[in-house]
Structure 1
Amino acid sequence: MYIYYPSCNFAVMHRKTAKKVKEYFEKRMPIAKCCKIDQSELEKEDIGLYVCQACRHQIEDKVQTMSLWEYFDQLDDFSFPDYHGQKMYLQDCYRDCNHPEVHQAVRNLLKKMNIEVIEIEKNKENSIFCGTLHYETKDLENEHLSHYSKEIQEKYMKEYVQQFHNEQVICTCNRCLKGILLGKGNGVHLLELLFNKK
């Protein structure tokens, strides 16, 4: 049985879409509470569906996990919105470096939505970015930008987003998206793209 673990952070940033996603899953499977407090009775064959890398880390010791991207990729009855060949950059999250199944599913979904992906150099397993949570650059002693002042965080995020040339940047991670937005980039969460026409 699948169990959907909604992301509290996503819900805070995207209330309307989070509500649509929750309503979609309520018709199909149990909905867990916040991953930090959920006490659902789990069976060995259960699979926890997650949208947030922090949720995955929280639940992976007690249940099998699958990203929402893999779940939607395997569906035959989901109505994918059509973006008519729009070109968008894709930001892979550093916390997914060891999850090639996530990379592939995300790209499959974007193809199904008729989005032309612009790949950046540091992508997939080579990603160096998770917003201010993790950013690798030779100028910093600590890769956690969150340990620095807001001014320094913003400075480095602005430098990072220059590579996107003001084009839309798809994120599959709440922290990645926050970093892109902090740098005044044109970021959008993949769940927003999947559900904004529903």
Structure 2
Amino acid sequence: MWYILFFRIFLVLGFLLAVWKWGDWKNRENYYSTVLFIMVINLGASFLTYHHILWNYQPDALVKTQTTVELINSYVILPSATFIYLSNFPFNRKGRSYGYIALWILLFSCLELIDNVIGGMSYKNNWSWLSSSILDCAMFPIMRLHYESPLRAWIVCLLITIIVLILFDFSSAEMK
């Protein structure tokens, strides 16, 4: 169980150090609304899946509940990642932007795979690592979309939410 705790501490400290080093702090106001957007989306997903969980986090020596891990994701990991991602996005280079997006998808997919392999998280209700990786393929382009056109990003997220709710057999009775 110590390795789960170590991995979570590594993630939190790693993202905090990375955001300090690679975040564009002079222009942070430009990214603020997208950071909030990602936080709201993650908290909304946690709320919708409260009784029909798609992934389950295992407790460790410090983090005892699923809610705590979701709050760490919502208030530390995802905001940091969003800020770094947008701070360094190659907006004027189309070819490079695809590679940049792919790099972030690979990073998040690998981190989740490691978390799953070490037992820090497991999947439920037909969700899988592949499902999360596909969601990552949507998440990073949506971050950029929100930065450029917030309304369009909200519409895309609503559509993705409806698709996930249908594909993973949610019923309104299971929603909190």
* TM-score when normalising by structure 2: 0.32
From the two aligned structures, give the one with the greater helix fraction.
2
From the two aligned structures, give the one with the greater strand fraction.
1
Q: Larger relative CO (CA 8 A, sep 6+): 1 or 2?
A: 2
